[in-house]
Amino acid sequence: MKDLGEAAYILGIKIYRDRSRRLIGLSQSTYLDKVLKKFKMDQANKGFLPVLQGVKLSQTQCLTTAEDREKMKDVPYASAIGSIMYAMLCTRPDVCLAISLAGRYQSNPGVDHWTAVKNILKYLKRTKDMFLVYGGDKEL
C-alpha cells in the first residue's frame, strides 16, 4: 500500500485544514461550477434565496396537456435535482428545504417546478464558495 499523504479532494469535495485552530473545511465549489455549466446556468444571474418568497409549488402546476409535455420533454429535471441533492448531502444543507419542495414533482414536473430548480441553481451560483467548517476547541 502506498501512502499518498493528506487527502486534498475526496469524491469531488475539497478539504481545507487548519490544524492549529482544529478546523476542517469541506467545499464543493468546483463541483458546483460543473453542475452550473451542465444545466446552462453558469451565465445566469445570481439568486438571493434558494426558495423565493411567495412561490408555491403544487400538483396543479404539473403537466396536463400534450403540448406542455412536449415543452418539458428535454428538460433534465430529475438530473438537476440529483446533482443538487449530492451537494446538499455533502456540504450544502442550506438548500435542503428547496430540494425537498422541488423533488416532489420529479415524475411530472411543470414549467413552474423547473423555474424553482433553476432558482436553486442561481442561488448556488451566488454561494458556491461557501463551505462547511467543522472544529472543536478542546482535545478529547
For residue range 40-85, list pLDDT tens digits in order. Answer: 999 999 999 999 888 899 888 888 888 888 888 899 999 999 999 9
95-123 pLDDT, tens per residue?
999 999 999 999 899 999 999 999 999 99
What pLDDT score was predicted for residue 60?
A: 85
What pLDDT score was predicted for residue 140?
A: 57
Residue 68's identity, in one-letter code, is D
DSSP H stretches of helix in 9-110: 29-38, 66-72, 77-90, 96-103
- Say if 7 falls within a structural domain: no
Q: How many domains does the chain have?
A: 1
**What's the whole-number mean pLDDT along residues 120-136?**
94
- Say if 10 falls within a structural domain: no
16-50 pLDDT, tens per residue?
999 888 999 999 999 999 999 999 999 999 999 99
Q: How confident is the model at residue 139 (pLDDT cuts 50, 70, 90)?
A: low
- Say if 112 falls within a structural domain: yes
- Say if 15 falls within a structural domain: no
- Say if 19 falls within a structural domain: no
- Say if 139 falls within a structural domain: no
Residue 38's identity, in one-letter code, is K
Taking the whole predicted model, whether its pTM rises above 0.85 is answered as yes
Beta strands in the chain (DSSP E): 9-10, 13-18, 23-27, 132-135
Domain boundaries, position 85:
29-130
Q: How confident is the model at residue 127 (pLDDT cuts 50, 70, 90)?
A: very high
Nearest to 24 by CA among 38, 3, 6: 6
- Say if 106 falls within a structural domain: yes
- Say if 2 falls within a structural domain: no
